[in-house]
Amino acid sequence: MELLGNLGINGKLLLAQIINFLILLWVLKKFVYTPLLNVLEQRQTKIKKGLQDAEEAEKKLEVIKKEEKRVLKKARQEAQKIIEKAEKQAQKNSDEILKDAQKKAETIMQSAQKEIVKEKKKILQEAKSEIANLVFLATEKVVNEKMKAKTDKNLIEKIIKEK
């Protein structure tokens, strides 16, 4: 100790300082260093968990994007099928309308032809009657005698029917 005294170091004071340092070291380790390590460890765990969650979320997002693409593709295909079906139905409806219109036109044409034939017969009958009257008048003037009207008319109609 004398050697320490010659250097100007007090042994009792040095011993007290070493004990104080060890107590301080123990207090710091127990109340500061250990809780600080625990907080850092918890923080490190949270960061790792956050990174894992982010990776999982990214994977889920990829899966969702793939699913979305698949669903959109399927929806487009279904929409295309619906459009094609609607076009076919529209074409079918158009064809049916066209057929109906053609049938109606044919019916109208047949009706008109029947009406024309009927009208033609009527006109021919009227013409025959008129010709019969004209022949009767001409015959009466040529012969200058009057025959019975009813007999003459029957005779002329009989002659016309024969021709």
pLDDT of amino acid 129: 82
pLDDT for 79 beyond 90: yes
**In the structure, what pLDDT confidence band is assigned to residue 75 with cuts at 50, 70 and 90?**
very high
Cα torsion angle, 92, 94, 96, 98, sign = negative
pLDDT for 8 beyond 80: no
**In the structure, what pLDDT confidence band is assigned to residue 148 with cuts at 50, 70 and 90?**
low
pLDDT of amino acid 156: 74
Least Cα distance to 146 among 155, 156, 154, 136 occurs for: 136
**Maximum separation of any 2 CA atoms in the chain, in Å:** 198
Q: What is the mean pLDDT of the chain?
A: 87
The predicted model gives 34-45 an average pLDDT of 94
Contacts of 10 (CB under 8 A, 6+ apart): 4
Q: Give residue-wise pLDDT tens across range 103-142.
A: 999 999 999 999 999 999 999 888 888 887 777 777 776 6
